[in-house]
Amino acid sequence: MNARPLNNPIGGLLVSHEDISGILRAGRNRTVPRSVLTENLPHDADQIADSHEQLGQNLTAISLAAVALRKGGNVGDAVNLIGLAVEEAHLELTKLRCGPDSDAG
């Protein structure tokens, strides 16, 4: 926003102007109608919630394996469990980023 004072013999005046030409240009260049974006919101929210749940389960598995290691559990089993959980988490993040129609999983 730009503001500049204008001197006047009777009193000062402040003129304010905000350049929104970039916003208008982006609106004209939009390729996806706003209605399509709004229709996809519930689906996207569900997908994010599902991914959040899956990632939480992966982190829990990793935490439990770490606790087992601290208590002297089988190192091989813990390492395998951690590896699987990390791989599943990576696939889930890839699916979330690329969309459910990708070849992520």
Q: What pLDDT digit, counting tens, does each position of 34-64 carry?
A: 777 778 788 888 999 999 999 999 999 999 9
pLDDT at 102 over 90: no
The radius of gyration of the chain from alpha carbons, rounded to an integer in Å, stands at 27
Phi, psi angle pair for 14, to nearest 5°: -115, 125
Q: Could you tell me which residue, 11 or 91, shows the higher pLDDT?
A: 91
Question: Per-residue confidence at 9, pLDDT binned at 50, 70, 90?
Answer: low
pLDDT of residue 105: 47
Distance CA 17, CA 32 (A): 30
What does pTM read for this prediction?
Answer: 0.57
Strands 13-17 and 2-6: antiparallel
The answer, yes or no, to whether residue 78 has pLDDT greater than 80, is yes
